[in-house]
Structure 1
Amino acid sequence: MIESFSEERRFSLYSQFLAGFFLSALLLLATSADIRAQSVHEPARGTAERTELLNAVRPMLEARVGPPVEFVVDWMRSGGGWAFVQLSPQRPGGGAIDLSRTTFASDAEYMDGLLTFALLRHQYGRWNLIDFVVGPTDVFWQGDPLYAQLPRGLTPY
């Protein structure tokens, strides 16, 4: 014998289903927004992630200013497979890099020193340099559609 639900019982079950569905959807949206915001972190000194990020930027800069280069980290955030760094390059031990002896010599008067910004993506088991700017005089990433896709909190502004 097949038991049928009354109209009132069906409406109650349907209402409970809809309420549960919408509550689950809201919780999922809130959780994914929180995870996206929480996933951005600053890799701590001495960690493999921090070393890998710096080593991914180093060849690009050494090709332009000559080796060896070490960095003072002004900003470093990583999350969601992306990383953004703001670095002040120097010679080992804190020595200044002479711009007149680099590939930037003819542009030095238009630059804000060697302050370096880089966007990196973790793919194929390593950090890859996606975009970089050396010595910008503005917030170059503002308005760029690529940067609009990044996790919130990855860039400084």
Structure 2
Amino acid sequence: MCVFFLTVSAATTSAQPVHEPARGSIERKAILNTIRPLMEARLGAPVEFVVFWMRSGGDWAFAGLDPQRPGGGRINLQNTVYAGQGDYMDGLHTYALLRYQYDRWNIIDFVVGPTDVFWQGDPLYARIPPGLTPH
């Protein structure tokens, strides 16, 4: 008796063009659930996200998020690891670069509250598919 398993991973979809993972999709949930523990460690739990940018292509993904408390509650910066840094941040806007490796999404780079377009000119971002980050 032969049994065959079909495993679908980012590696099998590497030829796919950059796309926005659909709301409610397994891919979108997996990306957000990869980012969530990092943000909850820095901002306190629980955290949910308002997604203002998300693209995936091949084995890469890039997300732009605004973290909030469940139901839309505002996160008080003074109750986070960023207390006292508000003057140097553009709020809690969060960006994360992820890569699908070892059968899961992994955070490769992230930043909270950047005041510039940090990915432009960074050699790491020259390796990702065009269209993954905002212009």
Q: Do the two structures share a fold, i.e. TM-score over 0.5?
A: yes
Aligned to 1:86: 64
Whether 1:108 and 2:86 are equivalent positions in the alignment is: yes
Identity across matched positions, percent: 69
What 5-or-longer segments of structure 2 have no aligned partner? 1-13
Per-residue deviation, residues 2-22 of structure 1 (Å, max 9, x unmatched): xxxxxxxxxxxxxxxxxxxxx
Aligned to 1:129: 107
Aligned to 2:42: 64
Amino acid at match of 2:34: A
The alpha-carbon deviation at position 80 of structure 1 amounts to 1.4
Report the secondary structure of 2:96's partner residue. strand
Per-residue deviation, residues 6-59 of structure 1 (Å, max 9, x unmatched): xxxxxxxxxxxxxxxxxxxxxxxxxxxxx96x6100000010000000000011
Quote the Cα distance in structure 1 between the aligned partners of 2:28 and 2:22.
Answer: 7
| TM-score, scaled relative to structure 2 | 0.88
Aligned to 2:120: 142
Whether 1:118 and 2:96 are equivalent positions in the alignment is: yes
Per-residue deviation, residues 101-156 of structure 1 (Å, max 9, x unmatched): 10001211110000000000000111000000000000001100010111010001
| Cα-Cα RMSD | 1.2
Which runs of at least 4 in structure 1 moved beyond 2 Å after TM superposition? none
| TM-score, scaled relative to structure 1 | 0.76
The alpha-carbon deviation at position 85 of structure 1 amounts to 0.3
Quote the Cα distance in structure 1 between the aligned partners of 2:73 and 2:49.
Answer: 11
Quote the Cα distance in structure 1 between the aligned partners of 2:115 and 2:49.
Answer: 20
Aligned to 1:151: 129
Structure of larger gyration radius: 1
Amino acid at match of 1:53: I
Which structure's residues are more often helix, by fraction?
1
What 5-or-longer segments of structure 1 have no aligned partner? 1-34
